[in-house]
Amino acid sequence: MDHHEARIFDVSLGVETAMKVSAPRHHVHRHPKGSAAEHNHPDDATRFFADVAGELRTASQILLVGPSIAKLQFLHHLRERHREIHAKVVGVESVDHPSDLQLLAHARRFFSVPSPRMSDAP
């Protein structure tokens, strides 16, 4: 998770699923006079975190990982607004922009889930 997107992986029961939740994106409008004020959208983070929380509502255990403080801000959001989901967070770790395969491998190790086996079918 970072401030731009959350990638969500389910590694339970040997079936791996993935999805992505993107933060709202806005065109930055700079005013030609005065300070270089940008239109900030303070509710965007709250909306983004609520969208991510909605996708996690059926999870049994949650590991939050990411390179920045977004994961900690999201954890605070969960504690304040989604206590039932906050209770499912079992770990918070810093990682530096891992690929999807690296995230899956990390989650499998953390949750002690074996890698799915390739089918022997032709």
Going from N- to C-terminal start, the domains of the chain cover 5-21+43-111
Backbone torsions φ then ψ of 65, nearest 5 degrees: -135, 155
CA proximity to 97, closest of 1, 25, 9: 1
Residues of the chain with pLDDT > 70, as a percent, come to 79
- The fold for domain 5-21+43-111 equals Nucleotidyltransferase; domain 5 (3.30.420)
Q: What are phi and psi of 52, to 5 degrees?
A: -65, -45
Which of the four pLDDT bands, split at 50, 70 and 90, describes residue 114? confident
Its pTM stands at: 0.80
In 1-122, which ranges are continuous DSSP H helix? 43-56, 70-81, 83-86, 100-111
Kindly indicate the confidence band of residue 10, based on its pLDDT and cuts at 50, 70 and 90. Answer: very high
